[in-house]
A and B are shown apart, each in its own frame.
Chain A
């Protein structure tokens, strides 16, 4: 496998950084190398933020930002109004959106899953915000970049609440290509 690069769009406080961490940890459990990198700017709650994950079979030596991702993950569809989430996405690249319905992106392979709905169903809410970083791991496992077992293992290492695993399982089952 050549290096696989993922860019995660979210808003400050939605768990984009933790999602990147969980994704990288899952890849490591799969026996691969990974780097998760939050982009630090003048970060504030609610502002659009990005984090990056690189996965490879060999140690990762690149520290600069991902310019041409293989996949884009959008945890909050509203950021698409203010940020060009498709920027640099490789031709035929994947885009995964947290949404109740499919969004079409010409030239890219798009999938969607209602992470917010899953989080609310499992009552995964902190300070009024639904938790998206654990459910999204199930959807990412469905895309095949990490294994389901590693996803669950990673979630259990970071969180004791089993609802997180159930939410990931739900997202795995509900993701629509």
Chain B
């Protein structure tokens, strides 16, 4: 059925399809609509899950952990300060190898109170062992949430997955949504280390350096193995449901002299900028990074690279820009834009590309082009 839905509603619809046993969540702007919609599904019986209205995000993730270790599917959603408040437990979920799926509606961090889109919240989770995907449309929010469960629960992965969508810009806008019946797309969850009183074991107790080191390496090994699982999951999704996704969404990149790399809704806006530049005779392309963890190999050889960061690591640089510089061993033009929901139009993005200074950094709307 053709529907129209907000990004938040799309996530809730996806959760309804996947049917987690336990959902524990705490409301926060701009994510609240997700938990409201899920609570509604549970109360009307459309979704036979336990919805735990916890008293904090720390407890939301702790409850997901407690449920997940019994071997059942779990989901939560948060944003911004909520994500930071659960930071201790996001680490725990990954370390405990629990396939919790979370939607994070990207929002800036205070002070002051600002409720609009920024990627700094999720970026502060980048070293926790969570897989991270960033989406750009309502449909993609729905599709990525469904796929997240299959990827997380795959026994070659068994790591939590975070689906990121831009606050308001995507969470609250309405676009067409094609919902699907997933059938057997996601196999029943099998957690090999699920807790079982008939086979008692200790979980997460004291661990010496050798074993701890080994567990860290196991996380990294699974993170590397997740690349193939992501590829096969997205391929199967395409074959069954006809929508194609990858580690990046490339637009006019093949013959491009200059490529702008960005994440989330800015990556879609950038495509319009490319159309304008192409008409001007500038051979530009757009690469929208979807998966930030695991960080993919990017095909940017021989191209000038402009990176838009909707985040920042103080004293270092734009996190995406610096990641690409490190991986590609090349200098980029780093543009910091869209913080705190700053309006960034396709015209602005076209300008970033036209006026690029490779090797330099530009804070859009704050300082002049250096």
Q: Which residues of A contact B (CB under 8 A)?
A: 20-21, 24-25, 28-29, 33-38, 40, 59-65, 67
Are the CB atoms of A21 and B174 closer together than 8 Å?
yes
Are the CB atoms of B346 and A28 closer together than 8 Å?
no
Residues of B within 8 A of A67 (CB): 345
Are the CB atoms of B176 and A33 closer together than 8 Å?
yes
Are the CB atoms of B4 and A28 closer together than 8 Å?
yes
Are the CB atoms of B176 and A34 closer together than 8 Å?
yes
Are the CB atoms of A28 and B176 closer together than 8 Å?
yes
The number of inter-chain residue pairs (CB within 8 angstroms) is: 61
Say how far A147's CB is from chain B's closest CB, in angstroms. Answer: 14
Are the CB atoms of B269 and A62 closer together than 8 Å?
yes
Which of the residues B173, B271, B344 comes within 8 Å of A61, measured between beta carbons?
A: B271
Say how far B6's CB is from chain A's closest CB, in angstroms. Answer: 9
Interface of B is mostly: mixed
Pick 16 A–B contacts, CB within 8 A, sort by A. A21-B174, A24-B4, A28-B4, A28-B176, A36-B173, A38-B172, A38-B173, A40-B30, A60-B175, A61-B268, A61-B272, A62-B269, A63-B169, A63-B268, A64-B346, A67-B345
Which of the residues B4, B170, B345 comes within 8 Å of A21, measured between beta carbons?
A: B4
Are the CB atoms of A62 and B172 closer together than 8 Å?
no
CB closest residue in chain B, given A63: B265
Residues of B within 8 A of A61 (CB): 268-269, 271-272
Residues of A within 8 A of B266 (CB): 63
Q: Which residues of B contact A (CB under 8 A)?
A: 2-4, 30, 115, 137, 166, 168-170, 172-176, 265-266, 268-269, 271-272, 343-346
Say how far B93's CB is from chain A's closest CB, in angstroms. Answer: 31
Q: How far is the CA of A25 from the CA of B6 in the complex (A)?
A: 12
Q: How far is the CA of A34 from the CA of B346 in the complex (A)?
A: 18
Across the A-B interface, the 4 shortest Cβ-Cβ residue pairs = A36-B174, A64-B345, A61-B268, A37-B173
Are the CB atoms of A64 and B343 closer together than 8 Å?
yes
Residues of B within 8 A of A24 (CB): 4, 174-175
CB closest residue in chain A, given B341: A40
Which of the residues B2, B271, B272 comes within 8 Å of A29, measured between beta carbons?
A: B2
Are the CB atoms of B269 and A36 closer together than 8 Å?
no
Q: How far is the CA of A60 from the CA of B170 in the complex (A)?
A: 12
Q: How far is the CA of A33 from the CA of B172 in the complex (A)?
A: 17
Residues of A within 8 A of B271 (CB): 61
Are the CB atoms of A35 and B346 closer together than 8 Å?
no
Q: How far is the CA of A35 from the CA of B345 in the complex (A)?
A: 16
Residues of B within 8 A of A62 (CB): 268-269, 272, 345-346
Residues of A within 8 A of B172 (CB): 37-38, 40
Say how far A165's CB is from chain B's closest CB, in angstroms. Answer: 18
Are the CB atoms of A20 and B174 closer together than 8 Å?
yes
Residues of A within 8 A of B343 (CB): 64-65
Which of the residues B4, B169, B170 comes within 8 Å of A36, measured between beta carbons?
A: B4
Q: How far is the CA of A37 from the CA of B175 in the complex (A)?
A: 9
Are the CB atoms of A64 and B269 closer together than 8 Å?
yes
Residues of A within 8 A of B265 (CB): 63
Residues of A within 8 A of B2 (CB): 28-29
| Seed contacts A34-B174, A38-B172, A61-B268; 11 additional CB < 8 Å A-B pairs | A33-B175, A35-B175, A36-B174, A40-B168, A62-B268, A62-B345, A62-B346, A63-B170, A63-B268, A64-B343, A64-B345
Q: How far is the CA of A28 from the CA of B138 in the complex (A)?
A: 14
Residues of B within 8 A of A36 (CB): 4, 173-175
CB closest residue in chain A, given B4: A25
Which of the residues B115, B174, B344 comes within 8 Å of A35, measured between beta carbons?
A: B174
